[in-house]
A and B are shown apart, each in its own frame.
Chain A
């Protein structure tokens, strides 16, 4: 009896032994027989930005063929669509990081209107110095961003619902504040209030004006031929809006791909439960990303307000969708955990170039939406295919 029981497990364990050895052999021969060799070209293609890159090339080809003689690619034309693209980049960068962290913010557009109005009212109506108004607005907006993030986490509701509520709350508050203090929905006089302020030029100024003047003097770029601006270049310099777009783009790309925190953003969006289990502070990551999105909206609004010299209660309408579309064209996954800031920026460039390019090409502007919808569909289908290749689903 005793002998039988002691030999039994041995005989039971024996058949397992050869099985245990096989995977080792399999492992060694695997690179040869089980894994297809991927060419480095194909390897380079499989990246989230591919849809965005293809879209950008297509869009530029299209406009080079149809609108090359319309001035779209002259200095003034380039500046025209670059500024619009930069606006989209600023909000897309924030939306991109937030979406990768697994959340949405539908209140971006209302936040733009709200923060613009906040700056205008604080500086023009309440007479605060412009820099105080700007800094106070930034703090207020980021606090609202943190509040919506906190609500999403505490209630466990989808961010879609929570930020949809903020879309209405902020827009309503903006109109209410404007009407009750000034009886108007557009508040002007910001140019005067910003006069001589040290912070306003950081958002509304232009850089490299000397360089552009020099290029104009040399006849490399267009200059005004008549009027009081005679001899000055049509494009005076690089607006700070574009500088902000580049700064935010570089910062967000660095944060996402090159830092520890970037890994946490991916992890929080990919699987919050798994991330929490290995010690990633998921809640903190998500709230910070809501605050960053609010920060981006605020940069957009401040630049716009200083540039236009007025704030309107209806500013930023539908901007949240434009930001989300840019991000999705750029290859990010709506459910989070996957995406690229560079892709989102390319999506924003596509958006800006198409919007302004159709005007240059003399196409009926209502076709803009058709074109945009087609690009969105094309990019998303391509991105889905790329993602399948990455995960090896197909």
Chain B
């Protein structure tokens, strides 16, 4: 727990004349859930895309398991063990759960020198992994389209975990979900964390963050406004930090007397 699994040091990212990130530093330990909070445009997406190898930082260093890393493409980051579950899920609705689960990593078996897609193994593994995440499928053959949004999100998470993710980045996994589905995804995050995987959970919902987070980092206009441990910060304080830091707090203070 003492050594961070991934450490981002003074990350800066410039897009032309726009400074999207100006020196963000962050550490994530194995088995903890770090919540990255921030309003729209705070730089959350840019930051995690830097972590996932989509963007190269303009300035700054990334240390993964103590070694300095230089990701050229998302594939490098995935191979290193950093998996990202994006909002659009990377799932294909008309394909079966098992086919989706093993997409790009198909298990094969050789019969008479010809390699076959091992459907039996794929179905077994999918059923087992989904069961361990608390989702009971009728069969691994059913199409992804039959699952709810929360269940699809869970398939994506289970897939990342099964293929050896050490750091799991979740980009607003709960933003499009209903109450019960959100609860389901939060429960999944909890299960993943307990397996010793570091989770980076991006959200702008303070309640969701407080439900599973161990530490909370708030981003605002490309800066970190600080990191707080669980129990050190209230939901109101987090909300205020996200909404523009001290400015809103003072406005609220001045309004408090009148309302």
Contacts and interface: CB of A to CB of B under 8 A. Distances in A.
Interface stretch (A19-27, A81-89, A317-325): A19-27
A30 B145 contact: no
A24 B133 CA distance: 9
A6 to B, nearest CB: 5
Interface in B141-184: 143, 145-146, 179-180, 183-184
Given A19-B179, A20-B187, A333 B143 contact: no
Given A267-B92, A274-B88, A280-B103, A22 B74 contact: no
Contact of A22 (B116, B136, B183): B183
Contact of B187 (A6, A23, A277): A23
Interface in A23-47: 23-24, 26-28, 30-31, 35
Contact of A5 (B117, B146, B234): B234
B135 interface: yes
Interface stretch (A56-64, A176-184, A258-266): A258-266
Contacts of B246: none
A390 B145 contact: yes
Nearest to A256: B117
Contacts of B134: 23-24, 27
A27 B235 contact: no
**How big is chain B's contact interface, by range?**
35 or more
Interface in B228-250: 230-237
Given A5-B232, A27-B135, A31-B136, A260 B190 contact: no
Contacts of A6: 231-232
Interface stretch (A9-17, A147-155, A162-170, A223-231): A9-17
Contacts, number: 133
A267 B233 contact: no
A30 B136 contact: yes
B210 A13 contact: yes
Question: Considering residues A4, A31, A271, which has the most beta carbons from chain B within 10 angstroms of its beta carbon?
Answer: A271
B211 A23 contact: no
A337 interface: yes
User: For chain A, what secondary structure do more than half of its interface residues adopt (helix, strand, loop), or is it mixed?
Assistant: helix
B117 A258 contact: yes
Contacts of A273: 88, 90
Contacts of B91: 271, 274
B26 interface: no
Interface string A326-369: 00000001000110000000000000000000000000000000
A11 B42 CA distance: 28
Contacts of A24: 134, 187
Interface stretch (B13-21, B60-68, B94-102): B94-102
Interface stretch (B2-10, B104-112, B194-202): B104-112
A387 B94 contact: yes
B89 interface: yes
Contacts of A9: 210, 230-231, 233-235
Contacts of A156: none
A210 interface: no
A387 B143 CA distance: 10
Contacts of A338: 94
Question: Considering residues B74, B92, B143, B233, which has the most beta carbons from chain A within 10 angstroms of its beta carbon?
Answer: B92
Nearest to A277: B90
B192 to A, nearest CB: 14
Contacts of B236: 8
B108 A260 contact: yes
Question: Considering residues B94, B134, B143, B231, which has the most beta carbons from chain A within 10 angstroms of its beta carbon?
Answer: B94
A393 interface: yes
Contacts of A218: none
B219 to A, nearest CB: 20
A231 B143 CA distance: 57
B121 to A, nearest CB: 12
Contacts of A196: none
Contacts of B211: 13, 16, 20
Given A274-B89, A278-B105, A387-B94, A31 B231 contact: no
B78 interface: yes
Contacts of B116: 258-259
A16 B183 contact: yes
A275 interface: yes
Given A13-B210, A19-B183, A20-B186, 13 more contacts: A5-B237, A8-B235, A8-B236, A9-B230, A16-B183, A22-B180, A24-B187, A27-B136, A266-B99, A277-B86, A280-B103, A391-B143, A391-B145
11 contacts: A9-B210, A13-B210, A20-B186, A24-B187, A31-B138, A259-B117, A274-B90, A280-B103, A391-B93, A392-B146, A393-B145
